[in-house]
Structure 1
């Protein structure tokens, strides 16, 4: 943790601790693997201190391809991909589920695991977050994790659309996957 604290700005480190605390609370509620949740949430932003250029150079040196839309959006989504590889190289993380939870904490992915959902929503609702509607999501997450993830994605999409910003297709794929799963479950009832 000392290494992480030394590279992240104070505000980012406080955010990381808030995410980790939130994630561990949700891990207890949903009986998730606490060690995986702890490590993924602790390292989810370990690349946030890097510039867009540094992140692209980091990926290029390792022959890791980032989609053009990811490069165009920049650090807001690029850091998650870079963090996955930093966690592996700098912090010795080898567990594929932890690495995946780090990588998909911003955009999600189709077929998210419990660990991935917890890290995703914890990043969105940690106590330091102050935006309209965050309180509703903070109350929803302990009651219905999937609904909280979908609501967070909806909120993000609404914001991106209102700002006329680029939207990574994986965010839409994640949302659609949750909605398809929910419709399928309702159909079976």
Structure 2
């Protein structure tokens, strides 16, 4: 299903609609996702394909993102997501994957939807794409090397560090923080505590 032919088709399509900078990022996320999948005993072709499609709707006008998102989610998305392209584009990408490439696997689509916002409960592929988006080789921000080290050692710890990085950045920039980010971060800590992998605090 996640064949080389499909991946090449997606690359060709994305190259024609994304800026060179965004396309380079997408290739980086796909590469990082494949590497994380191999480390975490997950299907590398599925992860790579999700990495390619995660930003498929990133550079569309907000109105187009909203229309695409409604096709897959109706009115279920929070207004804070629907009015912010930075949060919405993953949900819009779900419709691109479904309608253009006939990809209907719910786990796959969830990874696209939640790659920026995260979710209270995330499967392995969701975590892989969430983390790959932070650590791909073209990223250059304070703390990225630490995130890469965590990702190489423990995917759950890298997810938590990703939430922390986003929250810290938004605080430094005096920007609004999507409440779901805090909720999802707390859920990640609780899930890790249940696994005995995070100290109570």
C-alpha contact (below 8 Å) 2:71/2:95 kept by paired residues = no
Distance 2:94 2:181 in 1: 18
User: How far apart are 1:171 and its partner, in Å?
Assistant: 1.5
Distance 1:5 1:89 in 2: 19
User: Counterparts of 1:163-174 in structure 2 under 5 Å?
Assistant: 163-174=173-184
C-alpha contact (below 8 Å) 1:70/1:77 kept by paired residues = yes
- The equivalent residue for 2:41 is 31
Q: What SS does the corresponding residue of 2:116 show, helix, strand or coil?
A: coil
- The equivalent residue for 2:190 is 180
Distance 2:165 2:157 in 1: 12
Distance 2:136 2:72 in 1: 32
User: How far apart are 1:183 and its partner, in Å?
Assistant: 2.1
C-alpha contact (below 8 Å) 1:59/1:82 kept by paired residues = yes
- The equivalent residue for 2:63 is 53
CA displacement, residues 23-51 of structure 1 (integer Å, 9 cap, x when unaligned): 11111111112232122111000001201
Greater Cα shift, 161-170 or 8-17 = 161-170
Residue in structure 2 matching 1:110, options 108, 120, 123: 120
Distance 1:131 1:94 in 2: 34
CA RMSD of aligned residues (A): 1.9
Distance 1:64 1:49 in 2: 21
Uncovered stretches (5+) of structure 1, i.e. residues with no partner:
none
User: How far apart are 1:95 and its partner, in Å?
Assistant: 0.9
User: How far apart are 1:144 and its partner, in Å?
Assistant: 0.8
1 or 2 for the larger relative contact order (CA 8 Å, sep ≥6)? 1
User: How far apart are 1:86 and its partner, in Å?
Assistant: 1.1
For these two proteins, the number of residue pairs brought into alignment is: 187
1:3 aligned to 2:13?
Answer: yes
TM-score by length of 1: 0.91
Residue in structure 1 matching 2:81, options 64, 70, 79: 70
TM-score by length of 2: 0.86
Q: What SS does the corresponding residue of 1:141 show, helix, strand or coil?
A: helix
Distance 1:106 1:165 in 2: 16
Against the structure 1 CA distance between its residues 61 and 164, is the aligned structure 2 distance closer, same or farther, given a 3 Å change threshold? same
